[in-house]
Amino acid sequence: DLRQRLVVIQLELLHLNDEIENLCKELNVVSLENDIVNVKDNFIRISNDIREK
């Protein structure tokens, strides 16, 4: 089911996002961190749109 797959992907993305944020802080790479936040926000928006349909 597409919704179940989205839930799994979202959880993996959030975990990956946390790891990348930690790495960015260690490396002091703000631009990469901002890009990752944008990707996460876009995914959440798309995921929510799909769930509503």
29: left (phi over 0), alpha (psi -120 to 50) or beta: beta
Q: What is the DSSP letter of 53?
A: -
pLDDT > 80? residue 23: yes
pLDDT > 80? residue 47: yes
- Residue 33: the pLDDT is 74
pLDDT > 80? residue 45: yes
Q: What is the pTM of this model?
A: 0.50
Percentage, residues of the chain above pLDDT 70:
100
